[in-house]
Amino acid sequence: MGYIEKRGKGKFRLNVVTGYTAEGAPIRERKTVEAKNKTEAKPLLAEFELEVLGGDYIKPNNKTLDQHFEDWLDLMESRMQPRTFGEYTNIYLKRIKPMYGHFKVVDIRPMHIEKYLKYLQQDDNVRLDGKTGSLSSSTISNSYKAFANILERAVEWKLIKSNPSENIKPPRVEHKKSDVYTPDEMAQIFELLESESFSWRVMVYLAFTSGAREGEIAGLEAKHLNEEKNTIYIEQAITNKKGVGAVLKGVKNDQVRHVSIPKEVMKMLLKLSHIRKQEKFGAGSRWEYPDNLFLWGDPETGRPIRTDSISQWWRRFTNRHNFKHIRFHSLRHASATHLINQGEHAKVIQERLGHTRMDTTMRIYSHLLAEADERASSHFDSFVQKKKSK
């Protein structure tokens, strides 16, 4: 039910009753508009009433972006992956807050998002690491995503009607060609691993043969091994949370999957699992994770390994053997590269790697797939040559 009140020359207050209190007093939403007379104000009332009763009305508010961000901090930590939450928090404090923290949320327009992106694309005074030069396209993209996420929560929490960033496109992310180990280099790595401890050897073998991420390997438990089918079940991962340490989370993009591995690698994993079970039994009450048996957990406490510990060991390993260093994550790329060179279908590679979409796989490994396609065309040479010789 709605009605109109005259508030002065050319001004009218629109009233919509949405309910009543326990005492019977009406609960109203009000809005003052400009109109020549009540007749002109009536369609405005009908529009306002539809908006209010349809749940689309946003009450005017003076909340600043900084104030909204405090709510975002409080409510979003449990809803986001720790790494993403930490990254977005850092981006807001160091990039967004200085420019727009004092703005009212309702005053932020698409133009402000455009200016923010233009600022990030400057060549100087933008980097936070003290280095010179422009930001990478992925850093700019992540900085945009952080702003867009914070504004999207403002829509969700009824501070604004729409997200001013939704129709703004950040610069396209340019994926550089990944540096990977060649087959010969991988063979050398496996030879060098013979002098390393068993658990580290198994980890490298698994990383190469499964294409799993560091966090997924760190989160692997004995229960995830299927000896009969020679598969591992990837359903969780470990991430490093500042001030906390290793934290268990779901896999990236919720891409839970079964990945087949060689029989010999499965045997190694089962042996490692047996070792961990003995350690858990010997640790007794000191075991901090009674419901978990992480294959690369601490032998005294069962605590999962941190992903940065994996990277640090890998650095020490390559340095110790004076071997070319590429980050541990490159073993995942080496796995995909090997499968592409062996002629495996891109869809299979996508599913093994846990990519949400095929175009992600195609984009990252486009140069390799193009080379494979060129090799494939050579299989028709004999037919064409025979035709020409006739």
Distance CA 208, CA 350 (A): 15
pLDDT in tens, 296-319: 999 999 999 999 999 999 999 999
Model confidence band, residue 247 (pLDDT cutoffs 50, 70, 90): confident
Sequential DSSP letters for 265-316: HHHHHHHHHHHHHHHHHHHGGG-S-TT--BTT--TTT-PPPPHHHHHHHHHH
Q: Which residue has the higher pLDDT, 106 or 55?
A: 106
Give percent of the chain above pLDDT 90. Answer: 60
Q: What pLDDT sits at residue 262?
A: 96
* CATH H-level, domain 183-334: superfamily: Intergrase catalytic core (1.10.443.10)
Rg over CA atoms, the chain: 29
Q: What pLDDT sits at residue 176?
A: 61
Q: What pLDDT sits at residue 241?
A: 79
Q: Which residue has the higher pLDDT, 12 or 60?
A: 12
pLDDT in tens, 340-363: 888 888 899 999 999 988 887 877
- Half-sphere exposure at residue 292, Cβ-oriented, CA atoms within 13 angstroms: 23
Which helix (H) or strand (E) covers residue 150, if one does? helix 137-156
Mean pLDDT of 276-286: 95
- Half-sphere exposure at residue 307, Cβ-oriented, CA atoms within 13 angstroms: 22
Distances, alpha carbon 347 to alpha carbons 29, 273, 336, 353, 371, in Å: 54, 31, 11, 10, 17
Distances, alpha carbon 83 to alpha carbons 249, 258, 380, in Å: 10, 25, 49
Mean pLDDT of 236-265: 89
Give the range among 5-19, 142-156, 213-227, 365-379 with minimum mean pLDDT. 365-379
Tell me the angle at which helices 330-341 and 366-377 cross, rounded to the nearest 10 degrees: 10
Contact 309, 233 (CB under 8 A): no
Tell me the angle at which helices 137-156 and 110-120 cross, rounded to the nearest 10 degrees: 160
> Would you kindly state where each structural domain of the chain is located, as residue ranges?
2-53, 65-156, 183-334
Mean pLDDT of 242-269: 90
**325, pLDDT greater than 70:** yes
